[in-house]
Structure 1
Amino acid sequence: MTAIISTPYSRDLGDELRHLRETSTQFNGRAMAVQLGWDPSKVSDIELGKVRASEVDLVQYLATCGKDINFANEFRSRYYNAFDLFFAQVPDNVRTLAMVEAMATKITSYDILTIHGLIQAEGYARQLFVDSYVEAPEDITALVQARTDRQTIMRRHNRPECLFYVHELALRMRLGDAQVREDQYLRLLFNTHILRVVPAHVTAFRSAATLYEFGKASPVVYTESDTAQVYAQDSVAVARTTRLFQRLDAVALDAEQSKRKLAEYVSGLREDLHDGGTDLA
């Protein structure tokens, strides 16, 4: 067992091991340690993703949970790179992202062409999946529900401190019909205390990024595309992202200006509807 810096994925897989123990055995953490002949802290540290378990430890743990060699080999293949400071996942892996958001004490994000998932209206989220033509139609309802479920952290009494930078290009995207866009604008207006609009003429920033900060764990930079989710915990990546947000703080509209800008989009959309059109001016 090797002590090392934990990562979002190591904590995710550690939690998966904990869930496996609780559903496949009658053991609590201490009893599991006795069964394996381990110190009790070893089970806790592995399940918290704080240390890298050896291959022998993993096999013994999984065997105690009644899992066969095929299950063990599949889990080991995922666990192998769990402590890497850079790692990528398939784009539909919601579990790791939801866990990162739930554990974060501060979330700072910048989005260019879309609205961040934590402040998306349901109709907007659905239209994103529909228009991408990537997801199977029968999966879209579950994907939208997963995104909505992630947003419950925004209603916690101890929710993370959040700041969302939204580029004006995202506001101009003609996603769905006028009702979808109006609902999304109104959602943003309701959240202007945690949102700042980046004006359309500011074009130096080329990719979206989110910085997650935690009480004790190291900060994590997250970005995604249609093909992958990428997590970076390397100090250089974190420093570059921190400088990105310092620059955005200097060029973005303040909270009151952002509120007025969003109100302009709502007003313009309603004028278009009154005139018989459905597109933004």
Structure 2
Amino acid sequence: MATSTPSTAYSRDLGEELRKVREKSTDLTGAAFAIKLGWDPSKVSTLENGKYRPSEIDLVQYLSMLGKDIDFFEDFKRRFSRAFDEYIVLVPDNLRALAMAESTAKTIMRYDPQSLTGLLQIPEYTDALYRMGGFVTEERIPALVQSRSDRQSILRRHNRPKCLFYIHEHALETQVGGPRVMEDQYARLLFNVHLVRVVPADAPVVATGCTLWEFEKAMPVAFIEGDLVNVFVQDPAAIVRARLLFDRLAEVALDEEQSRSKLAEYVGRPREDFDAAGTRLA
């Protein structure tokens, strides 16, 4: 029987990837595949759920049974070597771990001080944001915009996670795209105001953007999203600090009705106000 290890967002992503490889390569169930390998059935289950740190021999046996070559094995070996660390650093292009964390979370809390929450962005805003950043090539932008739009489907599920998005007023003031894009984006936020709390411009809080995911059967994960790297954190002390941040935000943010009124001000803002705002970053 495999010894279970506390999973991370990245180990669950890699386990899910292994499951998909198995299902594409064979018609065997996990239990039947374990028997073929000579493993206890629980070993395949814990591995594919990201709760088991596989040895090099485990990976060789698992992947070779599926007909994978040495290069495929070396790639998985490299990625699994850090999969259970309390701090995982990934390039922003790796969206699987992010999407899996969002889709399996029980609760999602997020703070955005500079741009609007990705799960509430309209495609035109996302497109303009990528173009302003200048970190991705022109031809990759449509796929990234579509990926962000696809991730938003979790908010339409009947069993969607409980979400609360804190958005600093500086992010509301930053024009991304043209005036019509901002008008439509404000309208999207107003429609979802039950998920939004606006942090007023004069609120006494200084902090970087952060997400806190909580899960039914896994440890909480804090997530810091950047232009150069994304960081997934399960260190208990860091989780405590993330919770303290959201406690502070709850104290200084506007409530739902106040946030509704604030967003309504932006929706009704004259065009010349948008033009005066320019295209600066907050």
Q: What TM-score, normalized by structure 1, do the two folds share?
A: 0.95
The answer for the alignment partner of 1:198 in structure 2 is 199
3-state DSSP of counterpart to 1:211: strand
The match for 1:212 is: 213
1:278 aligns with 2:265: no
Letter in 2 for 1:52: R
Q: Which runs of 5+ in 2 are unaligned?
A: none
The offset of 1:32, in angstroms, is 0.8
Aligned to 2:268, what secondary structure does the other structure show? Answer: helix
Q: Percent identity?
A: 52
- Report the CA distance between 1:272 and its aligned residue: 2.7
Provide the C-alpha distance between the structure 2 equivalents of 1:207 and 1:2, rounded to a whole number of angstroms: 37
| Alignment match, 1:221 | 222
Q: Which residue number corresponds to residue 153 of structure 1?
A: 154
1:7 matched residue in structure 2: 8
Asked if the contact 1:3–1:50 (Cα under 8 Å) also holds between the matched residues in 2, the reply is: yes
Q: Output the aligned Cα RMSD.
A: 1.4
Q: Give the residue type in structure 1 aligned to 2:97.
A: T
CA offset digits 1:219-263 (Å, max 9, x no partner): 000011100010001110110010111111110011111111111
Report if the CA contact (8 A) 1:108-1:212 is conserved: yes
**Contact 2:204 2:252 (8 Å CA) reproduced:** no
Kept in 2, the 8 Å contact 1:86–1:230? The answer is yes
1:61-76 equivalence runs, <5 A: 61-76=62-77
Question: Which residue of 1 is the match for residue 169 of structure 2?
Answer: 168
The offset of 1:280, in angstroms, is: 4.5
TM-score calculated relative to the size of structure 2: 0.95
What's the secondary structure of 1:16's corresponding residue? helix
Q: Is the 8 A contact 2:4 2:46 kept in 1?
A: no
Distance 2:3 2:173 in 1: 50
Aligned residue type for 2:38: G
Shift of residue 278, structure 1, vs aligned partner: 3.0
Contact 1:124 1:180 in 2 (8 A): yes
Equivalence for 1:137: 138
Question: What residue number does 2:85 align with?
Answer: 84
Secondary structure, counterpart of 1:52 in structure 2? coil
Task: For residue 3 of structure 1, report the CA deviation from its aligned partner.
Answer: 2.7
Q: Distance in 1 between matches of 2:71 and 2:169?
A: 49
Structure 2 counterpart of 1:272, one-letter code: R
Partner of 1:267: 268
SS at match of 1:108: strand
Q: 1:147-169 CA distances to partner (integer Å, 9 max, x unpaired)?
A: 00000000000100000000000
Paired residues of 2:222 and 2:238 also in contact (CA < 8 A): yes
Aligned partners of 2:123 and 2:149 also within 8 Å: yes
| 1:59 correspondence with 2:56 | no
Instruction: Name the CA distance, whole Å, in 2 between partners of 1:187 and 1:258.
Output: 13
Paired residue total:
277
- In 2: Cα distance, 1:203 partner to 1:97 partner: 30
Q: Distance in 2 between matches of 1:263 and 1:138?
A: 35
Cα pair 1:165 1:198 within 8 Å, conserved: yes
